[in-house]
Structure 1
Amino acid sequence: MTTTAPPDNTAPENAPSDSAPSDSASQDSALPDTAPLQRRVLRTLFGAQILGGLAVGIGIAVGALLVEDMTGSSTYAGLAQSLFVGGSALVVVPAVRITERYGRRGGLAFGYGCAVLGTLAVIAAIHLENPVVAVCGYFLLGSASFAGLQSRYAAADLAPAARRGSHLALIVWATTIGSVFGPSIAAVAERVWTSWFGGPAYVGSMAAIGVLCLTTAVLLTVLLRPDPLLTAREISGETDAPKRSVADGYRMAKTNPAVRTGVVAAALGHFVMVGVMAMTALHIRHGVADPEDALTVVGFVLGAHVGAMYVLAPVIGRLVDRYGARPILITGTAVLVAACVVSGSSPLGDHVRLTIGLILLGLGWSAMTVASAALVTGAVSPAQRPSTQGFSDLVMGLAAMGAGIASGPIVEYAGYGVLCVCCAAVTLAVVPFLMGRIAKPAEEPAS
């Protein structure tokens, strides 16, 4: 199957959008009819992101601690975290197929459904004291992270090109509410579950994740109607377009400079964020004597980090709409390097400096994620979006797994500071792509 890249036009660098598809003028002309639907889509996605964000926040907070307790090894703890954040790689291929056939509603519900199965596997592993099953369960549980990331694309399907960054950033921002409180809720869930049912540690956290993911899947299935992606295809006249796969997204990235730059920027930003974040909980615990106090500190520091990932997303989205994706990607790269420097230089017990570093890490990731998503989405037509966006998230997931797998041994044998230095070096790999030319489509006429 051959994928055709959008035309190579050369709008000025400060055009309102880096990424409006060449055929989307017809979509914008119908916006007066689709505006009420877009508002309903945004409300539904906003609520789903709160619930899904809670689940992801809990999973991030307890993953490394759970596996280290089961194995006694930081290496395996890093593996669990990498599989959680990178679990999207497992579900991207079938999720793209489902999205092509049933729209965003089917793909998102599938992701959260896989996460429910993951929580059941982890709970079984805890009772069986089997770390292998726990790590596999975390891989499935990471599907919730995939679904949360895909939601930002669903918000952009019916958005006007001039506000695409703002709309998808609103859904990224919605995750703030759940993710900030998720790590702290882990400790509350543990206490409640223990007082009611007893049993081993971490079961309460896993049960809370399962309930949240199941509720989110049901919410999206019932309320995300009519589907935004299928509606966008009807508007663009692409309802009969051939169904595409992740392989078509790969071919698009090879031929389209804007897609290629967006994919690389998203992947490297995700790699650095996961690499540093995955080992932060262990770095904190190694400097705190009381394990219960460690979980509280972890909840605060990671809550601040996850909050920074999302809280300024609307501002970043507006900046992308106004100045284009490239300046925001360059700024995000600089912030990520600064985050690695601050985090890596924090000694054990210095939770203030570490918190500042993790906040910068979240802000840098937000800039890279919002800008790259707007760039990739606008560079292709509605018929090409699921495959191209799926390929981008697949690469992000693989990058996350690589970061988590590498971070454990680095911390165990060289220390947290060396890990941050390595991540700073990886961040700079995106610079050649940002310095190259990004083809832009022509500016769309006002509707």
Structure 2
Amino acid sequence: MDVQSYVRSAEKQTSLYKRTLFVVSISQIFGGAGLAAGVTVGALIAQQMLGTDAYAGLPTALFTLGSAGAAFSVGRLSQRYGRRAGLSAGFIIGGLGAIGVIIATVINSILLLFASLLIYGAGTATNLQARYAGTDLANSKQRATAISMTMVFTTFGAVAGPNLVNVMGRFAASIGVPSLAGPFILAAAAYISAGLVLFIFLRPEPLFIAREIEATKQVIRKNENPATSGHSNKRGILVAAIIMILTQIVMVAIMTMTPVHMHHHGHELSMVGLVIGFHIGAMYLPSLFTGILVDKLGRTMMAVASGVTLLLAGFIAALAPGDSMTLLIIALSLLGLGWNFGLISGTALLVDSTEISTRAKTQGTVDVLIALSGAAGGALSGMVVAGSSFPTLSIVGGALSVLLIPVMIWYHRQNRIKD
């Protein structure tokens, strides 16, 4: 590969940027289908095996915890060997974890289930880290839009996954596998397919070319102004991490216990799949518009919008009667939308605040913290509901999201003082 030909040609850079977005977007269709399995039936499998609601949040906690370790590894792999190596490995390992979940349900092994969910979490981490790949060759006014493009395509798989619960359940039963494991059959095929798409087609490596382009620009800047230095913005990295961590905790906690809450009120599995489908659709489908808004209105304003939207979601979920499908769909849709606002504004701020030479490693580290926060939210959600109620969990989650507002006011003031 002639890297310098890309460095010298703006036209080739634009072409590679578009090609990278296309390949990553195709992989995200498969990746979205893979992540939906754990969200939709993970808690129900644990509830069935353990016979209690108190630990129903453990599957989400486990695959989110697994995604933390995977986020670290994928970030380091990407930093050293490129996005292609890191992302394809992460997806394929996630697919192997899904296969382990299927086997665990067949032999009724709770230990194998928990171990497999940890491995399955690699797919979740990779699905999120793929959003960074589209930003490597994007300029500062394209970054949020580039992030959103890859997330929009995640919608197709993510919405299809929960709505195929019954179909995959019947297929699983027809081959002698418990019906609740059906979505994990889809997850295994989807994650492995996503990994193969990236491994085969993500060439040339966008991260390496982006590094060379930035190195050339830095030489030019230093020649023009020797005082110029390229350091990461630590305050920006911190605030970006806080935005994504808070939105992840709130979203995962409420989302995890919604299927169990619905099950207690007599809703069928197909209804659970419908609500989760709306939720995941709202997590990803608005991304194209969110990216444009983040680039136009700014990272700060959209992060505040995230906090307000999550607050509204929490209160509607708390006040909705357990048998009201309409209000549950509205609440879970707002929950997904608030997460979407937070993830895209936080991701764009993180990319803005990092240097290309260490960007993938920093992104991986921040995603570890996001995953750990999600694991905590998932684990605690079951305990809160068992000790109190689903409305209490929803109100606490909504109130927690309000912290985004003072954080962003502080960041905005600090930047204004610095300027």
Distance 1:385 1:199 in 2: 43
Whether the 8 Å contact between 2:64 and 2:372 is mirrored in structure 1 is no
Report whether the alignment pairs 1:341 with 2:320: no
Unmatched segments (≥5 aa) in structure 2 = 1-5, 217-229
Deviation at 1:133, TM superposition (A): 1.9
Deviation at 1:159, TM superposition (A): 1.0
Whether the 8 Å contact between 2:79 and 2:358 is mirrored in structure 1 is no
Residue 244 of structure 2: aligned partner: 266
- Counterpart amino acid of 2:242? V
Residue 130 of structure 2: aligned partner: 151
Deviation at 1:97, TM superposition (A): 2.0
Report whether the alignment pairs 1:46 with 2:20: no
Deviation at 1:86, TM superposition (A): 4.2
Distance 2:33 2:10 in 1: 33
Deviation at 1:440, TM superposition (A): 9.8
Question: Among residues 173, 179, 186, which one is paired with 1:208 in the alignment?
Answer: 186
Whether the 8 Å contact between 1:82 and 1:278 is mirrored in structure 2 is no
Whether the 8 Å contact between 2:302 and 2:342 is mirrored in structure 1 is yes
Residue 8 of structure 1: aligned partner: none
Distance 1:321 1:28 in 2: 25
The 4+ residue runs of structure 1 with deviation greater than 4 A are: 27-30, 252-255, 438-442
Distance 2:56 2:301 in 1: 36
Deviation at 1:439, TM superposition (A): 8.9
Deviation at 1:350, TM superposition (A): 1.2
- Counterpart amino acid of 1:82? A
Deviation at 1:161, TM superposition (A): 1.7
Distance 1:92 1:359 in 2: 26
Distance 2:273 2:231 in 1: 38
Aligned pairs for 1:2-13 (under 5 A) are: none
Can you list the C-alpha shifts for 1:376-419, whole angstroms capped at 9, x where unaligned? Answer: 00111211211221121111101000001100011112010010
Q: Quick one: structure 1 residues 253 and 272, their matched pair in 2 at CA, closer, same or farther if it must change by over 3 Å?
A: farther
Can you list the C-alpha shifts for 1:111-159, whole angstroms capped at 9, x where unaligned? Answer: 1122122112212221221222212211211211111111110010001
Q: Quick one: structure 1 residues 375 and 264, their matched pair in 2 at CA, closer, same or farther if it must change by over 3 Å?
A: same
Q: Quick one: structure 1 residues 440 and 426, their matched pair in 2 at CA, closer, same or farther if it must change by over 3 Å?
A: closer
Distance 2:163 2:31 in 1: 15
Q: What percent identity do the matched residue pairs reach?
A: 30
Question: Among residues 212, 224, 232, which one is paired with 1:234 in the alignment?
Answer: 212
Distance 1:79 1:324 in 2: 36
Residue 117 of structure 1: aligned partner: 96
Report whether the alignment pairs 1:73 with 2:45: no
Deviation at 1:177, TM superposition (A): 0.8
Q: Quick one: structure 1 residues 378 and 439, their matched pair in 2 at CA, closer, same or farther if it must change by over 3 Å?
A: farther
Question: Among residues 319, 326, 335, which one is paired with 2:300 in the alignment?
Answer: 326
Can you list the C-alpha shifts for 1:25-77, whole angstroms capped at 9, x where unaligned? Answer: xx999543311111111111111100110111122111111111111122222
Residue 348 of structure 2: aligned partner: 374
Question: Among residues 132, 139, 154, which one is paired with 1:160 in the alignment?
Answer: 139
Higher relative contact order (CA 8 A, sep 6+): 1
Residue 198 of structure 1: aligned partner: 176
Distance 1:159 1:255 in 2: 19
Q: Quick one: structure 1 residues 134 and 56, their matched pair in 2 at CA, closer, same or farther if it must change by over 3 Å?
A: same
Whether the 8 Å contact between 2:35 and 2:124 is mirrored in structure 1 is yes
Which has a greater percent of helix?
A: 2
Normalising by structure 2, report the TM-score. 0.90
Distance 1:76 1:441 in 2: 43
- 3-state SS of paired residue (2:402): helix
Distance 1:332 1:82 in 2: 23
- Counterpart amino acid of 1:395? L
Whether the 8 Å contact between 1:96 and 1:107 is mirrored in structure 2 is yes
Report whether the alignment pairs 1:394 with 2:394: no
Distance 1:215 1:48 in 2: 8
Query: In the comparison of the two structures, how many residue pairs are matched?
Result: 399
- Counterpart amino acid of 1:434? M
Whether the 8 Å contact between 2:172 and 2:179 is mirrored in structure 1 is no
Residue 427 of structure 1: aligned partner: 401
Distance 1:253 1:357 in 2: 41
- 3-state SS of paired residue (1:382): coil
- Counterpart amino acid of 1:199? V
Report whether the alignment pairs 1:416 with 2:395: no
* Aligned CA-pair RMSD: 2.3
Unmatched segments (≥5 aa) in structure 1 = 1-26, 239-251, 443-447
